[in-house]
Structure 1
Amino acid sequence: MDSIDTLIIGAGTLGLACAARLARAPQSCLIVEAEQLIGSHTSSRNSEVIHAGIYYAPGSLKAQLCLEGRERLYAWCAQHRVAHRRIGTLLVAVSATERSKIDALAANAQACGVHDLEYIEQARLAELEPAVRGVAALLSPSSGIVDSHAYLQSLLAAAEKQGAQLILQTRVDQLEPGPDGWIVTGRSAGEAFQLKAQRVINAGGLFAQQLAANTQGLQGIPALHLCRGRYFGYSARAPFQHLIYPLPETNTSGLGIHATLDLGGQVRFGPDTEYLEHIDYQVDEQLREPFANAIRRYYPGLDSTRLVPGYSGIRPKLAGPGEPAADFLIQTASDHGLPGLINLFGIESPGLTASLAIAERVAREL
């Protein structure tokens, strides 16, 4: 039976970030991915936003790792020539009744360690973004956008440079603790395999709980809630220079349908939130008018006929509909009593922003 030092299951942002951090010759590092391409699910189906760290519960892993990860990500992109732009976000109050929400959000950001927000009154907002309707806003200069696909490729290149190996179309079906590590069973390109791994990182994203359920002796597996977010493109010149976010709506599982820009200058709107029983990436054209109604609250000049169904992503949430937002869960041996195994559960937004900080945390726990 083949034996390796580190097995990373999942070649999304988290798995590849962990590989880039952990791969060090002469130790062997193997990344396995069930799909035919890296980053096939949540990692390539998101807003591509580098988050500032405004929204999360102070002291939570999301808050801590977003701030740390944000700075690590900007530095990584500069070093590895990954396309990105620090363009800033405007969080817009569209009515006087929302001013209190701005105050609460600013206080929360301060408690999380975000100290660079600027309060913008209506006249200044109109100067910055003439197309946006609002009575006030918060300007977050630390927010940005990144080419997520180029970022994934840069992580893989860094890992492979240190000796890591990637094998696609390879699914791990079972993990069993052994006397000197883990016995790993699965299928690769249709062929059954078994190997030994001294340490295993379950970075399976949407499939992390499925693997955890097939891990012998593992307890404390959190429930998975699939939450789809759909996006519409806009077949017109982008009317904004910044990312435009409405204030978060009460009792929803997302940040509202916001406007983001890609590095080519095209605007897209989304995501919405919809809980699912099964993975489904469809975007129904009938959503155009509900999207348009939400967007017009802050962009009254929207031409809804130019909204084009785009793509969707699915968040691996640990909280169900109507429940308080759940934190990241980095489950280690101190949690489950199984040495050499780390499970990454519920790594939704700001997972892309926090990915390098999560990888650093994983490295410290091994």
Structure 2
Amino acid sequence: MQKVDCLIVGGGIVGVAVARNLQLTFSHLKCLLVEKENILAKHQTGHNSGVIHAGVYYKPGSLKAKLCIDGLKRIYEYCDENHLPYRKCGKIIVAVERDQLARLDDLFQRATQNGVQDLKMLDSNQIREVEPNCRGIRAIHSPHTGIIDYGLICRHFGKSFEQMGGRIALNFEAEKFLPSGDASYPILVQSTTNSTFLSRYVITCGGLQADQLATLCGGSKNPTIVPFRGDYLKLKHGTDKLKINGNIYPVPDPRFPFLGVHFTPRMDGSVWLGPNAVLSMKREGYGLFDFSIRDTIDLAFNSGLRKLAWKHLGYGLGEMRRAYSLSATVRELQKFVPALATDDVERGPSGVRAQALSADGNLVEDFVFETVDTGDLKNRILHVRNAPSPAATSSLPIADMVVAKAKECFNL
């Protein structure tokens, strides 16, 4: 039976960044990353919008704001050092109604306090200079917002981890975490295929499976992970009249839990439009009709979800309508680009967001860590139960934070 010093569960960008940072910080450790799929970045990392966020939205002084500002700087530096592609195409956040102007001004002040670089407020004419097809009253321009392929970055983190001496085991779905009876390697990690490893310590970064991994070790039921699917449209090829230069975003409405539809250019030259945000009946279900009996039962018995759904019933129904109606989504997008027509779009990909939810029905927007603090595995297992957006942008500083937490928890 193979023995390792630290086993990291989860091959998304946060898990791989943590593994890489841990191996870099403690080079004497034998670190192993396990991933249940046959490739890294199969789920959230490989299905997100690919935006490098600048830190505009977050509460000044908050951990999310600090990590995003640092994360943007470091992801660009990492790409430059390793000759990895990205585009610093910028973003405009556009007010299309006068009642949005006060919120836009507040957002500008918040971003300025966060230290977002080179922000500028644009008038209607300046909006058209940046995005000729976009219309609005005023907009915030964030020139350092970029786009990237986070799947590519994640896999590069993985190669870097292996070059440092770490190992990656794919097709290993961790199912049990048991006391091994070995004082030196006290944790037995078993997969669904009965493959096993012995480890001194374990860190889980499970994303969509984060709560289930924690409860497998006797952890708290809450916060639970609720999967929200986001469906994108795509601009059809050949729609040159609708050229989009950078990201076009709405002014967020604080009454609602999600951002709203936006225009997102991609590294392959395509443009994604959306997404909506609808409850997914399967944690890793990317199709409109994907369904899991187990996941659906979990959702049905989730009292926090019922409270959230009742609170935002009207908003949720609108999101469901847009999930099945291209024209409904296009009408929202036309507020920003009036020339867009339903014939210009086609259905694009979907992603599923792991949204942590408290028992009282509130979205958990902060980081949540949990350690096993009883029994034979006390202070041996650390769970990353929530790493909220913009986790991909912030993956490198998040890894610093998780490794510091592990050093404290495991007394490394």
Normalising by structure 1, what TM-score? Answer: 0.92
Alignment correspondent of 2:247: 243
Report the residue type matching 1:282 in the other structure: G
In 1, Cα distance between equivalents of 2:62 and 2:349: 30
Q: For 1:318-333, what aligned pairs fall within 5 Å after superposition? A: 318-319=356-357, 325-333=363-371
Q: For 1:138-287, what aligned pairs fall within 5 Å after superposition? A: 138-176=140-178, 179-180=183-184, 182-187=186-191, 190=193, 192-216=194-218, 218-219=219-220, 221-235=222-236, 236-237=239-240, 239-279=243-283, 280-283=285-288, 286-287=324-325
Match status 1:91 vs 2:93: yes
1:55 partner SS: coil
> What is the deviation of 1:324?
5.3
> What is the deviation of 1:185?
2.9
Whether the 8 Å contact between 2:117 and 2:144 is mirrored in structure 1 is no
> What is the deviation of 1:125?
1.1
> What is the deviation of 1:180?
4.5
> What is the deviation of 1:323?
5.7
> What is the deviation of 1:181?
5.5
2:155 partner SS: helix
Whether the 8 Å contact between 1:12 and 1:152 is mirrored in structure 2 is yes
Tell me the alpha carbon deviations over residues 162-198 of structure 1, each in whole angstroms, 9 at most, x when there is no partner.
111111110111223565564133226x3x1333212
1:11 partner SS: coil
Whether the 8 Å contact between 2:223 and 2:357 is mirrored in structure 1 is no
Whether the 8 Å contact between 1:175 and 1:184 is mirrored in structure 2 is yes
1:85 partner SS: coil
> What is the deviation of 1:339?
1.6
Report the residue type matching 2:191 in the other structure: R
Whether the 8 Å contact between 1:253 and 1:321 is mirrored in structure 2 is no
Alignment correspondent of 1:342: 382
In 1, Cα distance between equivalents of 2:364 and 2:166: 32
Paired positions, count: 362
CA gap 1:324/1:70 in 2 versus in 1, 3 angstroms:
farther
* Bigger Cα displacement from structure 2, 42-51 vs 122-131: 122-131
In 2, Cα distance between equivalents of 1:267 and 1:321: 37
Residue among 281, 292, 301 paired with 2:330: 292
Match status 1:16 vs 2:54: no
> What is the deviation of 1:137?
0.2
Alignment correspondent of 1:58: 60
| Structure 2 gap ranges (5+) | 290-322, 407-412
CA gap 1:310/1:139 in 2 versus in 1, 3 angstroms:
same
Whether the 8 Å contact between 1:275 and 1:321 is mirrored in structure 2 is no
> What is the deviation of 1:205?
0.7
In 2, Cα distance between equivalents of 1:336 and 1:288: 50
In 1, Cα distance between equivalents of 2:287 and 2:358: 21
Match status 1:362 vs 2:402: yes
Q: CA RMSD in A?
A: 2.3
Tell me the alpha carbon deviations over residues 209-254 of structure 1, each in whole angstroms, 9 at most, x when there is no partner.
11111104x3474121211111111112352212100111343332
Whether the 8 Å contact between 2:228 and 2:277 is mirrored in structure 1 is yes
CA gap 1:332/1:187 in 2 versus in 1, 3 angstroms:
closer
Q: Which has the higher strand share?
A: 1
CA gap 1:80/1:141 in 2 versus in 1, 3 angstroms:
same
CA gap 1:60/1:318 in 2 versus in 1, 3 angstroms:
farther
Alignment correspondent of 1:32: 34
CA gap 1:320/1:275 in 2 versus in 1, 3 angstroms:
farther
Normalising by structure 2, what TM-score? Answer: 0.82
* Bigger Cα displacement from structure 2, 4-13 vs 20-29: 20-29
In 2, Cα distance between equivalents of 1:102 and 1:324: 25
Tell me the alpha carbon deviations over residues 313-339 of structure 1, each in whole angstroms, 9 at most, x when there is no partner.
111111379965422324154x95742
Residue among 97, 102, 105 paired with 1:103: 105
In 2, Cα distance between equivalents of 1:257 and 1:183: 45
Whether the 8 Å contact between 1:315 and 1:348 is mirrored in structure 2 is no
Whether the 8 Å contact between 2:211 and 2:221 is mirrored in structure 1 is no
Whether the 8 Å contact between 1:83 and 1:150 is mirrored in structure 2 is no
